Every structure is written in C-alpha cells, then in structure tokens.
Amino acid sequence: MERKLKESEYTIRQLQSAMIQLLNEKEYEKITISELVNCVKMNRTTFYLFYSSKEALVQDICDIFFTEHFRKFARANLTHDEVYKEKVFLETSRELLAQKKAIRRLMAIRTERFDGYSQMETALEQMIMNLFLENNIRIKNSGPLDLFAKLYAAYIMASVKWFVEEGEHYEINTLFEMVKAYKRHGMYVLLET
C-alpha cells in the first residue's frame, strides 16, 4: 500500500514538473496532454488516473507546487534569525526566477472554469491562514485574521507578478532590502508574534 502511494506521489510530481517545464517553453493553450505524457514517458490513461484535464493539473500546481515556495519563506519569516530569513528569501527568489515564464503563464490562464491568478491567490490565502493558526499568530486589537490573510495573499501575488515580470532588472539583494523595509513599516505592524 505504501509503495503504491509513493509511486502515485512520484507520478503526480512528474506530471507537475513536466507541465511547468512545458509552460516555460510555450503558452498553456498550445500544450497538449499527448505532449505532456510524452515528456514523462507515460500514457494518456495514466494521466487520466490522476487528473481529469489539463485544467485540473494546473489547478493542482497552483494549489500545491506554487505555495511550497512561499511556505518556506513564510516559515523563515516567523523566526528572528535575519541571516536565515535572507538565505531563504534569496533561494526562493532564485527558484521563482528560474520558473518565471511558467509562473507568468500560470497567472495568465483564464478559462470558463479556471483563473490561474485567482487560484494561486486563494491557495496562498489558505496557506497563510493555516500558518497563522499553527503558530498561534493573532492580529492586534482582535482584528479579523481571515481579512489579513486575504490582504497578505493579495500583496504576495502582486509582488510575485511584478517580480516575474520586472524583477530580473534588479539584484535579488536589492529586492530583499525593499521587502525588509516594507515589513518594518507595512502590514506587519498589525501582527502580534
């Protein structure tokens, strides 16, 4: 049973990685399921065991893969170790820049049933709420935690959108200093940690 679960997780990661690789190369609309399964050397039937459509795969990527980058960064921000925070920020920023085309294209997906940008923002909002609850973080003056999570997710998404579109023109260390300055004077003043 455990072996099958590990194989399933491996297959899902392969499909996600292949989709991200293809998104770095071309627009979402031009990617076919046949092309995707050929990248990972599996058949269409295997794809459909895990996902009902291409949309379901990119939704999974937005919900899981994308938020993992920010979970690392958010957890680092809960520490008081400034050197560790900077290290995680720099690593995460480099990882995002390496996937910038894929991220831009994920954000741009708009279909009848799926909006990539909104899906990422919702996934981030949920991750932030969970992180706050896990770490017993409250808002000063008993403010609404869900509103803060929504605002913070919107801030992250706007920042990421700018970062993958314009950030390559700046040194990552400069961006880190900008984030630190914002944290000192921005939304973080509302938090009790």
Partner residues linked to 139 by β-bridges: 191
Query: What is the torsional sign of CA 25, 30, 34, 37?
Result: positive
CA distances from 99 to 20, 64, 96 (A): 8, 15, 5
Q: How far is CA 135 from the centre of its chain?
A: 20
Model confidence pLDDT, tens digit, residues 121-150: 999 899 888 888 888 888 777 778 888 889
CA distances from 184 to 99, 144, 188, 189 (A): 29, 21, 7, 7
> What pLDDT, on the 0 to 100 scale, is given for residue 35?
96
To 5 degrees, how large is the angle CA 142–CA 144–CA 148? 120
Asked whether the whole model's pTM tops 0.85, one would answer no
**In this model, does residue 4 exceed pLDDT 80?**
no
Model confidence pLDDT, tens digit, residues 37-87: 999 999 999 999 999 999 999 999 988 866 787 888 778 877 888 888 888
66-77 vs 116-134: helix axis angle to the nearest 10?
30
> What pLDDT, on the 0 to 100 scale, is given for residue 22?
96
Give the integer Cα–Cα distance in Å for 66 and 133: 20
